[in-house]
Structure 1
Amino acid sequence: MSPALHATSICPIVQKIDSLVLHELTTESVRQALEGLAMVDAWIESQKLHLTRRLQELAASSPSVVPAHVIASASGVTRSEAKRGVARVDTLSLVPQLESALSTGAVSIAHVDAVTQAMSHLSPTDKQKVASQGNWINMVASHTTPDNFARAVRRAVQQVYADSGLTQLEQQRRRTFLRHWVDRDSGMVCIRGEFDPESGLQIVGRLQNTVDRLFREGSVNGEPRSPDQLRALSLCALVLDSSTNSADHISSAYARADVSVVVDLKTLQTGIHRHSVIHTGTDIDIPIDTIRRIACEAKIIPIV
């Protein structure tokens, strides 16, 4: 393992980067400078974690000390970002292997956030089950990008559910919500919601299909549209067009998903395992029971 980062090793990196002549840099020298900055970031984040942990200790003996408030006011960050910093400390208390890796620059704070997010809705008991795989979590984090690592951790979280995710799905369904309001400055109607993965996968699939249909029908009049605007127009088409029977497809959580799912045979037959392959073409994770139900109605194409 690499030695922990200290000020004595960080200062030369900062001095070297500060002395760079930007217009003389090559692609390789820029890459090296960015790697150096990543080491500096890792050191900074490690120091923040130590200080946040100390704030938690002070808060335990003095109710007037609120770590998130102190962090927000001292660092000039939002309250939500300050709370995220506190959550990181809680995560690393469960998975200390990651903190050791962060202190050496082997992983980034984004890896820590991936674990925090994946375990955010777990019970304390289930968090301990995931944390018991700390050595594996650290190994994967040290050898992969934060995005790929996040997917691996979500798989580990799925494994703690005896029914291959169905219990988690039911919990997610209970947290489903949708709200709307009018922005006072723009006068625009705003919508925000969260949906369980199974329902969300269907909604996203229907939206994408409607985006494609709008292009085919020329409904966008040849004008350039951003992806976000196209999705908004597609939602209007789905909700306001009485000839579209989209409600029939979306209303049932057990309806066939309007998307493609790639899954390995072993996972389909026996459930989630360490090397499971499940891709929906989106960032949405769905339980294996849902995939099996979809497979009963779907066209299955074997891939070797």
Structure 2
Amino acid sequence: MDLSGVVERVEHVARTRAAAATTADAGDTALALQLARAGMVAIRETRAWLAAAEAELTRVVRRVDAFPEQTIAADTKGSMGAAGALLDTAGVLDDAPAVADALDDAVITDEYVTIVTRASRSVPARLRSEFLRECEALMPTAASMTRTQFRRRVREICNRLLAHDGLERLERQRRATSLRSWTDDDGMLNLKGRFDPVTGAHLHAVLEHTVQQLFAETVPTTCPEHPIEKQAHLRALALVRLVTGGGLVDAGETRNDADARPMPVPSGGRVGTDLLVVIDATQTNGAGGPLVDWGIPVEVPVEVLADLIGDAESNVDLDIVVVRNGIVLHAPGKLDLGRSSRLANRAQRRALRALYATCAIPNCHVHVNRCKFHHIVWWEHGGQTDLHNLLPVCANHHARIHADNWNITLGPHRELTITLPDNTVMATGPPARQAA
């Protein structure tokens, strides 16, 4: 994109910004939405050009400055870590000119470049050039991909290149496991950690189960009202309880779920992890058999996965769920509770995680592990806590459903239809768990 194209887009944003608001005030909601969307597209394209320009200037600073991180942090009013990330991105764009051109032409956004940059860190130096060449080959079709689809394609490239490098990679990840802390300007203690995938899988499971156990029924009075901030607050309190063994968190009542296996809040020692293995008979693995997801949220070598499952001391519980075309063919536990419990039990949560990768609302990428389980026929309207009446939705969309009275229906294969208050209809086919 040349400078005239950038100027044209900025002028377009300025025009639509005023026109959209005026049109909305006049009651022409369709035209207001059209103008607002056009303005947001222009903003996205302008941001992409600015990101490309920033990366090019970063490369210049890196070439001529003895301490580029400090200079970039000062000029951008950001942190040294953010400056380091800019330098990493600039390095990727330097070595992958097709990706740089796609960003400059607004074919992709800086978020797509970030996906490539982060993935490149897991690739050994000897494979980096090949990895970037394959990412460059994605650029002609990247414009038609969502961010999630693009991330999946990049992950597939990594997996293929690292197919024979799994154990070596895991050892690198174990050596790179770290946790640091600092106090920010508000006097708040901050923690930032990176964990190898095996440790991370255990940690993630324990933290999410602890949140469910402590806050399924009630939440502390300190909890923010914003749904996303609320979940972040609860995870922080759950971490405090895990580390301290209790006493610092006023959790209120805990869940009373007869079908759930107790998940004790630990004061030390090993804690078990549920490994959800999903056999998806709708999709194939390339060899004609069903696709199997072994339940680790990040890549783990096959040898390590086998050790995890076979080691009695690893405390890994294997749960197998079979799904096909939006239907649960097999899942352990009781899947229909009727009116005996308002809360989804462990078996229902497990089955829904097998069907969905993310929030069920179209184009929402919040992981299913961070979702609530909404009654399609609301509980207060007589709805039952049965699997066919439950839908995983993120905290933000769960609040919207109730506040704005969205009308939601499910078909026989969990085809989703959402009718909004303005009669806009969103519809999807059966859930595709592998889409995320």
TM-score (norm 1): 0.74
Question: Structure 1 residue 286 and structure 2 residue 287: aligned?
Answer: no
Distance of aligned partners of 1:51 and 1:232 in 2 relative to their CA distance in 1, 3 Å threshold: closer
SS in 2 for 1:302: strand
CA offsets per residue over residues 191-213 of structure 1, 9 Å max, x none? 44322111111121122222222
Question: Structure 1 residue 97 and structure 2 residue 103: aligned?
Answer: no
Partner of 1:253: none
Letter of the 1:80 counterpart = G
Partner of 1:18: 14
Partner of 2:202: 202
Counterpart selection for 1:227 from 209, 228, 231: 231
CA offsets per residue over residues 215-253 of structure 1, 9 Å max, x none? 45x574788562233223433444416x75675544xxx
Partner of 2:37: 31
| Offset of residue 279 of structure 1 | 8.0
Partner of 2:358: none
Distance of aligned partners of 1:185 and 1:24 in 2 relative to their CA distance in 1, 3 Å threshold: closer
Identity of aligned residues (%): 23
Alpha-carbon distance in 2 for matches of 1:223, 1:79: 32
Alpha-carbon distance in 2 for matches of 1:180, 1:46: 32
Letter of the 1:166 counterpart = L
Distance of aligned partners of 1:135 and 1:46 in 2 relative to their CA distance in 1, 3 Å threshold: closer
Larger RCO (CA under 8 A, 6+ residues apart): 1
Counterpart selection for 2:319 from 284, 292, 299: 299
Distance of aligned partners of 1:7 and 1:245 in 2 relative to their CA distance in 1, 3 Å threshold: closer
Counterpart selection for 2:58 from 35, 40, 52: 52
| Offset of residue 55 of structure 1 | 3.6
| Offset of residue 92 of structure 1 | 1.5
Alpha-carbon distance in 1 for matches of 2:54, 2:183: 38
Partner of 2:273: 257
Distance of aligned partners of 1:280 and 1:33 in 2 relative to their CA distance in 1, 3 Å threshold: farther
SS in 2 for 1:166: helix
Letter of the 1:127 counterpart = R
Structure 1 spans left out of the alignment, 5+ residues: 251-255, 271-275
Alpha-carbon distance in 2 for matches of 1:258, 1:220: 25
The 5 Å alignment of 1:181-220 reads 186=187, 191-215=191-215, 220=219
When you count helix as a share of all residues, which structure comes out higher? 1
TM-score (norm 2): 0.54
SS in 2 for 1:301: strand
SS in 1 for 2:162: coil
| Offset of residue 128 of structure 1 | 1.9
The 5 Å alignment of 1:70-85 reads 70-85=71-86
| Offset of residue 155 of structure 1 | 3.3
CA offsets per residue over residues 98-136 of structure 1, 9 Å max, x none? 112112110011111111111124332121231231343
Alpha-carbon distance in 2 for matches of 1:11, 1:248: 60
Kept in 1: contact 2:279–2:320 (CA 8 A): no
SS in 2 for 1:299: strand
Distance of aligned partners of 1:129 and 1:68 in 2 relative to their CA distance in 1, 3 Å threshold: same
| Offset of residue 66 of structure 1 | 4.2
Kept in 2: contact 1:140–1:149 (CA 8 A): no
Partner of 2:133: 132
Question: Structure 1 residue 7 and structure 2 residue 27: aligned?
Answer: no
Structure 2 spans left out of the alignment, 5+ residues: 24-31, 225-229, 247-263, 311-316, 325-436
Q: Select between 230-239 and 105-114 the one with higher mean Cα deviation.
A: 230-239
Kept in 1: contact 2:12–2:42 (CA 8 A): no
Partner of 1:273: none
When you count strand as a share of all residues, which structure comes out higher? 2
Distance of aligned partners of 1:257 and 1:151 in 2 relative to their CA distance in 1, 3 Å threshold: farther
Kept in 2: contact 1:202–1:259 (CA 8 A): no
Letter of the 1:231 counterpart = R
Letter of the 2:12 counterpart = K
Letter of the 2:2 counterpart = H
Partner of 2:420: none
CA offsets per residue over residues 23-75 of structure 1, 9 Å max, x none? 22511111100111122122222222333333444x2xxxx554444434444
Distance of aligned partners of 1:230 and 1:56 in 2 relative to their CA distance in 1, 3 Å threshold: closer
Kept in 2: contact 1:10–1:40 (CA 8 A): yes
Alpha-carbon distance in 2 for matches of 1:91, 1:211: 38
Kept in 2: contact 1:115–1:153 (CA 8 A): yes
Kept in 2: contact 1:159–1:165 (CA 8 A): no
